[in-house]
Amino acid sequence: MKGAYWMDKIMVTRSSMPPFDEYVEEIRDLWDTRWLTNMGKKHERLRSELKDYLKVDNIDLLVNGHMALELTMQALGLKGEVITTPFTFASTTHAIVRNNLKPVFCDIKPEDFTIDPEKIEDLITDNTSAIVAVHVYGNVCDVDTIQKIADKYELKVIYDASHAFGVTVNGIGIGNFGDASTFSFHATKVFNTIEGGAVCYRDEEIGKKVYDLKNFGIHGPEKIDAVGANAKLNEFCAAMGLCNLRHIDEEIEKRKKVAKRYRENFDGVRGISINPIQKGIVNNYPYFPVIFDEKIYGASRNQIFAELEKNGIFARKYFYPITNTFDCYHDNFDSYYTPIALHLSKRVITLPMYADLEENDVDRICKIVLDCRS
């Protein structure tokens, strides 16, 4: 009954999956070889194919996007303070804190939700070691300005690119910016391996350290020359990635059509701000965020969220709360210093977005939203 219940609902996202027979065929040889993990053939094939697809020189695969971020910070040897954004998923901030680093929160640009580079320099101290920026909803950070600041102060730059798989900037793959970029291949992402992640990196030495950190520092049956953890991607997840990668361009094109339909429905509606189209950016349409100005629109974000839920449509307040207001960080940070992020977090909804979302369902979602106006 539970399965039937959810079949009638429209969720904020739906995992992209290949035809069942295609996945079965992909994993068939795993029964013969019994090689299920430890950088097997599928892992290495996926790594090679992702390197080509993302247009990067170096990439490694990990068990999930969070460990990719944590271990990349360790590989870069970060110390002290890290300038970052609170308008992100918990993973970004938790990875910093779990590495015994202090997050210093920078506010965001209201037009695209990414970290505001004009506010970064005032936050730099003698203890700052890096900038950890986040590409949000497929929107790309001001990578050129951030790099100039990093070069000026000799800081490392890591991009959390979990929302930006396949995105390009003037033809350049998103994984080429900064010292490293990390990706999540979670089931909810545009590209998924069921669960998984990756790091793209500039310096090969970073890759060597990430490898040690993800595989216990093991370099042979009797050679362990580094202290590491276990963050390897298994062969079943790699197989799902190989299948999904064959269909990724089609998936993104379908998402583009869904986004276009939303835009058509909301075009010219006062009190609504929708995700911008950035110049020179090829987007991947991972989410469809909408900002509601209650005074102009006539209904609050929370009212709209509740009305959608009442109609079996499950949107998401994403990102709310912002990370510097989390209960686990109580009294550690002050959101007063990131007023734009705080303001937008109280007004944003990400509406359902996935490749197979039908146009008539998009229209129904939009009608419910528009009917909320007083």
* 224 in the same domain as 82: yes
Percent of the chain scoring above 70 in pLDDT: 98
Tokens linked to 127: 């203890």
For residue 299, what is the domain's CATH number? 3.90.1150.10
Q: Which of 198, 218, 243 is the last residue of a domain?
A: 243
282 forms beta bridges with 168
d(CA 356, CA 62): 28
Does position 211 have pLDDT exceeding 90, yes or no? yes
* 234 in the same domain as 252: no
pLDDT tens by residue, 361-372: 999 999 999 999
What per-residue confidence (pLDDT) applies to 54?
98
Does position 320 have pLDDT exceeding 50, yes or no? yes
What per-residue confidence (pLDDT) applies to 135?
98
Q: Are 109 and 60 in contact (CB under 8 A)?
A: no
In the predicted model, what is the mean pLDDT of the chain?
96
Does position 1 have pLDDT exceeding 70, yes or no? no
Q: Which of 202, 220, 243 is the last residue of a domain?
A: 243
Does position 2 have pLDDT exceeding 70, yes or no? no
Does position 144 have pLDDT exceeding 50, yes or no? yes
What per-residue confidence (pLDDT) applies to 27?
98
Does position 149 have pLDDT exceeding 50, yes or no? yes
What per-residue confidence (pLDDT) applies to 6?
52
Q: Give the structural domain span for 318.
A: 247-371
Does some domain include residue 4?
no
For the beta sheet containing 180-184, the strands, ordered from the edge strand earlier in sequence to the opposite edge, are 59-62, 197-201, 180-184, 156-160, 128-134, 81-84, 102-105
pLDDT band at 73 (very low <50, low <70, confident <90, very high): very high
Tokens linked to 365: 């979602």
Q: Which of 257, 267, 254, 235 is nearest to 43 (CA)?
A: 235
For residue 69, what is the domain's CATH number? 3.40.640.10
pLDDT band at 8 (very low <50, low <70, confident <90, very high): confident
Top-confidence residue, 135 or 2: 135
Percent of the chain scoring above 90 in pLDDT: 97
* 229 in the same domain as 356: no
* 172 in the same domain as 235: yes
**Residue length, the chain?**
374
Q: Assign 3-class secondary structure to the chain.
A: CHHHHHHCCECCCCCCCCCHHHHHHHHHHHHHHCCCCCCCHHHHHHHHHHHHHCCCCCEEEECCHHHHHHHHHHHCCCCCEEEECCCCCHHHHHHHHHCCCEEEECCECCCCCCECHHHCHHHCCCCEEEEEEECECCECCCHHHHHHHHHHHCCEEEEECCCCCCCEECCEEHHHCCCEEEEECCCCCCCCCCCCEEEEECCHHHHHHHHHHHECCEEECCEECCCCCECCCCHHHHHHHHHHHHHHHHHHHHHHHHHHHHHHHHCCCCCEEECCCCCCEECCCCCEEEEECHHHHCCCHHHHHHHHHHCCECCECCCCCCHHHCHHHCCCCCHHHCHHHHHHHCCEEEECCCCCCCHHHHHHHHHHHHHCCC
Stretch 309-315: mean pLDDT, rounded?
Answer: 97
Stretch 103-109: mean pLDDT, rounded?
Answer: 98
pLDDT tens by residue, 232-261: 999 999 999 999 999 999 999 999 999 999
What per-residue confidence (pLDDT) applies to 5?
46
* 329 in the same domain as 234: no
List the end-to-end C-alpha distance of the chain, in Å, as a whole number.
37
pLDDT band at 4 (very low <50, low <70, confident <90, very high): very low
pLDDT band at 374 (very low <50, low <70, confident <90, very high): confident
Does position 311 have pLDDT exceeding 80, yes or no? yes
Does some domain include residue 136?
yes
Rg of the chain (C-alpha set)? 21
* 260 in the same domain as 224: no
